[in-house]
Amino acid sequence: MPRAIGANSKLHMAVEAAYGTPPSGDWRLMPFVSCDLGAEQPFIDADVIGLAPNRDVAPPFRDIVTVQGQAVVPVDLEFIGDWLTLLLGPPTSSGADPDFEHVFVSGASPLPSASIELAYPDVPSFDVIAGVRADTCEIDFSPSGAATATFGLIGQGSTRSATSAAGTPTTRDYVAFNKAQGSIRRNGASLAQITGGRLTYSNGAEIVRTIRDDLKIEGVDPGLARATGQITSRFESTLLLDDAANNAALEVAFEYRISATRRLTVTLHETYLALAKTPIQGPAGIEAAFEFRAAFNPTAGRMMTATLRNGVESYV
């Protein structure tokens, strides 16, 4: 019997019409780098005495089921829209074939849920995680390498079967961004001397646990939305130091771009930099790492906007 290997594994996803209910029909085959989403049910030791003739422990009992994990996925031109829909809610889409624009905004409520199937065809085993909501997303920017995003996921429950629930999976065109296509802008102008950046968005999700005989959670409620991160720069001017010292409100945009109509832009409309040191750590160049926090901007009406330009007509 063959053993399960990652190279043959698959991830299928479908948006749910009702929370925790896996949809029928054909799900979407999603590219991914790694995924550790799944159900865990730990033991709790029983501190019961008097059952054994000695000091040996009584049998443990099982605690609640927890369904959490992370999916590391490529930042690409089309599939990333499905993940952003799970994280931010359905976008407002416009345009005409083959150029469409999808605008995702922070702070939306309620947020959609999805069912995700992790397929291990070598066994065979198919793990369907229902009621999946996205809590966090982290995107890393650096001069080279593959562009990836890490999504923190919370599910309601998990069911394993010997057959797939994904029907005949559909797909999209896969066009990946790479980090060499990335840029970071401050108030509309590209920042120079940037050696790295990190953008993290969180829905502040709260797991709602109630008394149920199936051990599942009742749901996942969104809390305060937050966007944070870091920008690392070679020290060649005091531009960012002055922004931090003056507590200036900046518009900061992170972008991956193939062309004007093939790009992903995440804009933080009101961003504040924390004051950073400029440490001398030897004869090499000096860098400063600026932590940042974003906030609601009254003019934009939101804290963050993610704009995806591609050939997909709709993500609804």
Taking alpha carbons only, the member of 176, 177, 183, 175 closest to residue 143 is 183
Q: Is 114 helix (H, G, I), strand (E, B) or coil?
A: strand
The reported pLDDT for the residue numbered 281 is: 87
Which residues are CB-neighbours of 284 under 8 A, at least 6 positions away? Answer: none
Each of the 316 residues of the chain gets a pLDDT tens digit; together they read 678 999 999 999 999 999 999 999 999 999 999 999 999 989 999 899 988 899 999 999 888 889 999 999 999 999 999 999 999 999 999 999 999 999 999 999 999 999 999 999 999 999 999 999 999 999 999 999 999 999 999 999 999 999 999 999 999 999 999 999 999 999 999 999 999 999 999 999 999 999 888 888 999 999 999 999 999 999 999 999 999 999 999 999 999 999 999 999 999 999 999 999 998 988 988 999 999 999 999 999 999 999 999 999 999 8
The reported pLDDT for the residue numbered 65 is: 87
Report the predicted TM-score, pTM, of the whole model to 2 decimal places.
0.94
Please tell me the distance from the alpha carbon of residue 96 to that of residue 210, in angstroms, as a whole number.
Answer: 46
Please tell me the distance from the alpha carbon of residue 212 to that of residue 25, in angstroms, as a whole number.
Answer: 29
The reported pLDDT for the residue numbered 1 is: 62
The reported pLDDT for the residue numbered 256 is: 98
Taking alpha carbons only, the member of 226, 142, 224, 229 closest to residue 177 is 142
Place of tokens 């001069």: 143
Does residue 38 contact residue 127 with C-beta atoms inside 8 Å? yes
Q: Is 143 helix (H, G, I), strand (E, B) or coil?
A: coil
Which residues are CB-neighbours of 246 under 8 A, at least 6 positions away? Answer: none
Does residue 167 contact residue 126 with C-beta atoms inside 8 Å? no
Residues paired with residue 202 on neighbouring β-strands, in sequence order: 136, 226
Distance of CA 290 to the CA centre of its chain: 22
